[in-house]
Amino acid sequence: MDLNPPMISLNSLSPLIAAGGLNAPELPSLAWFTNSIFVALIVTVGVLLFTRMATKSMKLIPDGKQNFVELVIEFLYNQVEGIVGKHVAPKAFPLLATIFIFVITANWFGLVPGVGTIGWGETNAPLSIEHMETPLLRPATADLNMTLALAVVFMFVWLWVSIAELGVLGTFLHIFGPKGGLKGALMWALMPIFFFVGLIEVISIVFRPMSLSLRLFGNVYAGETLLATMQTLGTTLGFPGWLSAISSVAFPLPFYFLEILIGALQATVFALLCAVYIKLSTSHEEH
Amino acid sequence: MNDILTTFGLDWGKFIAQCLIVVVVYIILSKYAFGPVLAMLEERRARIEAGEKNLKEVEENMAKAEQKVQALLDEANGDAERLIAEARESSEALRSQKSQEAINEAQAIIEKAREASKLEHQTAMNELKRDFGHLVIEATSKVTGKVLDDGDQKRINEETAGQVSL
């Protein structure tokens, strides 16, 4: 396994590059069960338990958790409805909201102290390691497998929503058909161009999962790298031990706030782009 | 592409496991979170809409009731004014009648008193005339020294009564 890919030059942060727990301890029959999947399961259970507690005995006049969950869901629904329209919103909303809630929770869970910083590595003292090689917990969205899984599941739902809205032929015509309400000879004359544009569209659709997943993975991974760099900056600059200990807390602190913002921003961008893709594929041409 | 994905740790087993996690979250959230919450929001929206509708109906009914009350008040005011006018007319008539009766009664009393007075005056005059006649007879008999008979006395009385005009 390549823990230090050439494209990443921060050798000291090699364990962080092992997104997806490539370097995690692997049990023979549970090779797929990595530290990031473990975190994904924790996030999943946390989100599901919280929402279940909030919605178990719903009241007409909400309070506490129910109020919070209703606030979030109503806000998200209004946003989704505003982008994809009233007709498509009921079909598109569950996945878009799931993506947003899961991604933002996973991103923020990655900022919990200990996630990515407790694990195995070269020890320099009892209960202390020089460099983290295999973290116990890895942020789920710093794993390309997770971000790609989100994107691929979205693409399947996107395809289902598009076909449910326009039909198979309608979806085909939406991609390859004439646009701008052209009719007659001009339409037939421009047909090859429309077909070519359709091919380009198909290529862009095929690459959407990659762009979505790599964007999220890259941002979260970069955030992890930044925090780890700031944490070890004192040591790198040769500070004395006590100053290095203080700087390992003080230097990353402002970037934690930045990462909180970026965690929310990336969840928003991911969900927003998904909503726009649905909108683009389900909007009816005006004839 | 494969090299890039492998470099970044893409593994089919892990990828499928993550897909399953995403699908499970999607299904469970859809069923146990989004469904109930959206249903609750819809129910609340429907209740608010129904409440607004009821409020509008109540307002309309209230306006109608106010109109009805106003009409009843107007009618009652009209009746009251009519009754007052009738009572006023009735009392005026009664007062007039009673006054007239009082006047008549007073006039009757006055008339009666006048007649009684007149009668009494007449009686007194007669008695006076008779007494005066007796005095004249007595004086005449004493002056003349003659005993007057009934014829003389009657003639003297008649002459005296004729000459005395009180």
Rounded distance between C-alpha atoms, residue A34 and residue B24, angstroms: 18
CB contacts, 8 Å: B22 with chain A: 98, 102, 146, 149-150, 153
According to the model, what pLDDT value does residue A93 have?
A: 93
Does A191 map to a domain?
Answer: yes
Q: How far is A114 from chain B (nearest CA, A)?
A: 22
Judged by DSSP in three states, A27 sits in strand
Q: Which domain holds residue B132?
A: 2-163
| pLDDT tens readout for residues B84-142 | 999 999 999 999 999 999 999 999 999 999 999 899 888 888 888 888 888 888 888 88
Q: Which of B6, B24, B41 sits opposite A44 (nearest CB)?
A: B24
What's the structural domain count of chain A? Answer: 1
What's the structural domain count of chain B? Answer: 1
According to the model, what pLDDT value does residue B8 have?
A: 78
CB contacts, 8 Å: A37 with chain B: 14, 17-18, 21
In the beta sheet, which residues pair with residue A122? A131
According to the model, what pLDDT value does residue B70 have?
A: 95
Answer whether B7 touches A (CB < 8 Å): yes
According to the model, what pLDDT value does residue A174 have?
A: 83
Contact B18 A146 (CB under 8 A): yes
Does A151 map to a domain?
Answer: yes
Rounded distance between C-alpha atoms, residue A277 and residue A227, angstroms: 33
Rounded distance between C-alpha atoms, residue B27 and residue B30, angstroms: 5
A8, with CB counted inside 10 A (0-12, 13-18, 19+), is middle
Contact A73 B34 (CB under 8 A): yes
According to the model, what pLDDT value does residue A138 have?
A: 84
Contact A60 B40 (CB under 8 A): yes
Ordered per-residue pLDDT tens for chain A, 287 residues: 333 333 332 333 444 444 444 455 544 556 778 888 888 999 999 999 999 888 888 888 888 888 899 999 999 999 999 999 888 899 999 999 999 999 999 999 988 888 877 888 777 767 677 677 778 888 888 888 889 999 999 999 999 999 988 888 888 888 887 777 777 777 777 788 888 888 998 999 999 999 999 999 999 989 988 988 888 888 888 888 788 888 888 998 999 999 999 999 999 999 999 999 999 888 865 44
* A253 close to A90: Cβ distance less than 8 angstroms: no
pLDDT of residue B21 exceeding 80? yes
What sign has the CA pseudo-torsion B75, B78, B84, B90? negative
Does A30 map to a domain?
Answer: yes
According to the model, what pLDDT value does residue B165 have?
A: 61
The 8-class DSSP code of residue A36 comes to: H
Q: How far is B25 from chain A (nearest CA, A)?
A: 6
For the question of whether the overall pTM of this predicted structure is more than 0.90, the answer is no
Does A3 map to a domain?
Answer: no
* A69 close to B10: Cβ distance less than 8 angstroms: no
If we measure between CA atoms, which residue out of A66, A71, A92 comes closest to residue A81?
A: A92
According to the model, what pLDDT value does residue A33 have?
A: 80
Q: Which of A7, A20, A32 sits opposite B9 (nearest CB)?
A: A20
Give the H or E element holding residue A119.
strand A119-125
Answer whether A73 touches B (CB < 8 Å): yes
Does A23 map to a domain?
Answer: yes
Q: How far is A117 from chain B (nearest CA, A)?
A: 20
CB contacts, 8 Å: B8 with chain A: 5, 19-20, 144, 217
Pick from A17, A32, A93 the residue to mutate for testing the B interface (most B CBs within 10 Å): A32
Hey, what are A59's tokens? 């009241």
In the beta sheet, which residues pair with residue A120? A134
How many of the other CB atoms lie within 10 Å of CB of B113?
Answer: 10
Q: How far is A246 from chain B (nearest CA, A)?
A: 33
Answer whether A149 touches B (CB < 8 Å): yes
* A144 close to A20: Cβ distance less than 8 angstroms: yes
**Per-residue pLDDT band at B23 (split at 50, 70, 90):** very high
Structure-model confidence comparison of residues A3 and B31, the more confident one: B31
**Buried/exposed code over A103-139 (b: 16+ C-beta within 10 A; e: otherwise):** bbbbbbbbbeeebbbebebeeeeeeebeebbbbbbbb
Does A287 map to a domain?
Answer: no
Does A4 map to a domain?
Answer: no
Does A5 map to a domain?
Answer: no
According to the model, what pLDDT value does residue A30 have?
A: 67
Region label for B9, one of left (φ > 0), alpha (ψ between -120 and 50) or beta (otherwise): left
Pinpoint the alpha helices (H) of A59-114: 64-84, 89-109
| Identity of the amino acid at B3 | D
Cβ-Cβ pairs closer than 8 A, A with B, add up to 123
Answer whether B46 touches A (CB < 8 Å): no
Chain A residue closest to B32 (CA)? Answer: A52
- B 119-148 → A contacts, CB under 8 A: none
Answer whether B31 touches A (CB < 8 Å): no
Q: Which of B8, B16, B33 sits opposite A55 (nearest CB)?
A: B33
